[in-house]
Amino acid sequence: MAKKMHDTPNLDQLEDGPWPSFVTGLKELAKDKDYVVDLLGQLETSYRTKKGYWKGGTVGVFGYGGGIIPRFTELKDEAGKPVYEDCTEFHTLRVMPPAGMHYDTDTLRQFCDIWEKHGSGLIAFHGQSGDIMFQGATTDNVQKAFDEINEMGFDLGGAGPAVRTSMSCVGAARCEQSCYDEAKAQRSVLNTFLDDIHRPSLPYKFKFKFSGCPNDCMNSVQRADMAVIGTWRDNIRTDEAMAKQWFAKHGMDELVNDVVARCPTKTFQLKQIKNVKTGPSISSVAISDTHAIEIDNHDCVRCMHCINVMTGALAPGKDKGASVLVGGKSTLKIGGLMGTVIIPFMKLETDEDVQKLVDLGQRTIDFFAENALEHERTGEMIERIGLINFLEGVEVEVDPNMVSTPRTNPYVRTDGWDEEVAKINAQKIKKQQAA
């Protein structure tokens, strides 16, 4: 039995209502832990004064420079003594989850046992970067908890100016839209940079995220310094039985208004069967005895909409891989940035393919480490130095897929134009000869 609970009239109101309550959970823990009784006391104070009372500091585990988020209370009386003395330290361990965040119950129960013993008993599945967050331990207990979690085969994630913990979608494990082995790519890339995860020494954070298709369920385009988003190069696959089944259920209005009209490039057409084109870039499938869908895949931007609506009837092609975008980030300092395409397509099937992605990550991080200013993300660095300088630094050739439009102003010195053209022509000839 723990000590008596503090009055928490504000937090109590968060026990009302139908959604699961974290306050009820904390109160359960507080039955046995003075630590959580006082955590609730401090949190209630925040609810009353509308102020936060945790400050950072330096806490770590032996051998690593990051992965622990230290928190010390600043809620002190006039003599400098903590108001809630049983909860003056509330550090978090960031632990990297398996790709796709799959668990068996034995693993989760072991986590619970360890965290009940050494920590507050509060675990968040998961933080915004994807970490399992073991929230709330004293400085003395951080190492003990880590040692046991580490013995289970789990390792700390990133914090500070480091390569950060990554996420991938459920992907190949359960999703028909998966265009590459997200888990393998995530693990191969991340485990190459363990030193940069555990010993923060980059200019600022660097995030990789892995989405299996352009639906981008990992929100990688706006958050990841390097977003790996699945796509395909060949034609959308079709299944006539399922297409007819879809049409029988949904009808012409839905097909026209929800699918045809929403195709961003209008390459998705509805035609009488007798008028349907054939050709190497055409996907077509009958939806009734009279009508068929026709897609010219050269004009398809792989947005996923028609496939999302008519899953099973339509599917991504077989020549799958990923696009790589660099430089996504949130607000600070220059405003939110979306990632920019730097690799329109790369295969990710063989170990050699995945190694190419790892190499690209390595070159990007090396360039970032050398060239970014302190506290500057890749997107900000690229904005400052220009995309061309970045591409040359990471040895990637320019490609019109990298821009929405070519430049709209003449403010550029072009006296190297002829040399560039000669270079491009030489590469063309080389490619033709190789073919």
Partner 1 sequence: MNQAVQEKPAAKRKPKETGVPDNKKYLHPLMAKNYGNWKYHDRPRPGVLHHVAHSGDQIWTVRAGTQRQMDVGTIRLLCDIADKYAEGHVRFTIRSNIEYMVSKAEKVAPLIAELEKHGFPVGGTGNSISMIAHTQGWLHCDIPGTDASGVVKALMDDLIVEFKREEMPNRVHLSTSCCEINCGGQADLAIIVQHTKPPVINHDLVANVCERPTVVARCPVAAIRPAMVNGKPSLEIDETKCMCCGACYPPCPPMQINDPEYSKLAIWVGGKNSNARGKPTFMKMVASGLPNNPPRWPEVSVVVKRILTVYKDDARPWERMADWIDRIGWPRFFEKTELPFTKYLIDDWRGSRSTFNASTHIRF
Instruction: By CB under 8 A, name the one of 156, 287, 354, 382 that touches partner 1.
Output: 156
Cβ neighbours around 257 below 10 Å, total: 10
Where does this chain touch partner 1 (CB under 8 A) — which range of 283-291, 297-305, 393-401, 427-435? 297-305
Query: How would you write 106-134 as a 3-class SS string?
Result: HHHHHHHHHHHHHCCCEEEECCCCCCEEE
Residue 311 makes contact with partner 1 by CB under 8 A: yes
Cα–Cα distances (Å) from 413 to 139, 273, 407, in that order, read 58, 54, 13
User: Does 335 engage in binding with partner 1 (CB under 8 A)?
Assistant: yes
Least Å from the CB of residue 81 to partner 1: 19
Smallest separation, CB 294 to partner 1 (Å): 19
Residue 154 contacts partner 1 per CB under 8 A: yes
Residue 363 binds partner 1 (CB under 8 A): no
Continuous segment of H or E residues that includes residue 315: strand 314-315
Contact between 301 and partner 1 by CB under 8 A: the answer reads: yes
Check binding of 216 to partner 1 (CB under 8 A).
yes
- Binders of partner 1 among 78-97, rule CB under 8 A? 90, 92, 96-97
Q: Output the CA angle 189-190-192, nearest 5 degrees.
A: 70
Q: Do 269 and 319 meet the contact criterion of CB atoms below 8 Å apart?
A: no
Of the candidates 146, 121, 155, the residue with the CA atom closest to the CA atom of residue 136: 121
**Least distance between partner 1 and beta carbon 308 (Å):** 6
Please state the closest distance from residue 395 (CB atom) to partner 1, in A: 26
**Closer to partner 1 at the Cβ: 198 or 228?**
198
**Residue 386 makes contact with partner 1 by CB under 8 A:** no
In whole angstroms, how close is the CB of 303 to partner 1 at the nearest point? 5
Tell me the closest approach of the beta carbon of residue 428 to partner 1, in angstroms. 30
Per CB under 8 A, the segment of 20-28, 276-284, 292-300, 416-424 that binds partner 1 is 20-28
What gap in Å lies between CA 429 and CA 2, rounded to an integer?
78
Least Cβ distance, residue 112 to partner 1 (angstroms): 4
| Closest separation in Å from C-beta 352 to partner 1 | 18
Q: Report whether 95 contacts 157 (CB < 8 A).
A: yes
Q: Which of residues 22-51 bind partner 1 (CB under 8 A)?
A: 22-23, 25-26, 28-29, 43, 46-47, 49-51
Q: Which of 3, 5, 7, 102 binds partner 1 (CB under 8 A)?
A: 102
Positions in 159-198 near partner 1 (CB under 8 A): 166-167, 169-170, 172-176, 178, 181, 183, 186-187, 190-191, 194, 197-198
Residues in contact with partner 1, total (CB under 8 A)?
Answer: 128
What's the CA gap between 313 and 284, in Å, rounded?
A: 11
Candidate residues 3, 5, 7, 13; the one interacting with partner 1 per rule CB under 8 A: 13
Query: How far is Cα 54 from Cα 73, in angstroms, rounded to an integer?
Result: 5
Q: Which of 63, 251, 279, 386 binds partner 1 (CB under 8 A)?
A: 63
Distances (CA, A) of 204 to 135, 225, 370: 24, 11, 12
Kind of pairing between the strands at 167-168 and 226-232:
unpaired
Contact 22, 12 (CB under 8 A): no
DSSP annotation string for 204-253: S-B-EEEESSTT-TT-GGGT-SEEEEEEESSPPEE-HHHHHHHHHHHHHH
Among 77, 78, 104, 352, binds partner 1 (CB under 8 A): 104
Sites for partner 1 among residues 228-267 (CB under 8 A): 229, 242, 254, 257-258, 262, 264
Nearest approach, Cβ of residue 69 and partner 1 (Å)? 7
**Which residue in 35, 37, 38, 53 binds partner 1 (CB under 8 A)?**
53
Examine residue 140 and tell whether it contacts partner 1 (CB under 8 A): no
Comparing C-alpha atoms, which of 399, 300, 404 is closest to residue 343?
399
353 sits near partner 1 (criterion: CB under 8 A): no
Minimum Å gap between C-beta 412 and partner 1 is: 19
Strands 132-135 and 92-95, sheet pairing: antiparallel
Q: Angle at CA 198, nearest 5°, toward 192 and 202?
A: 85
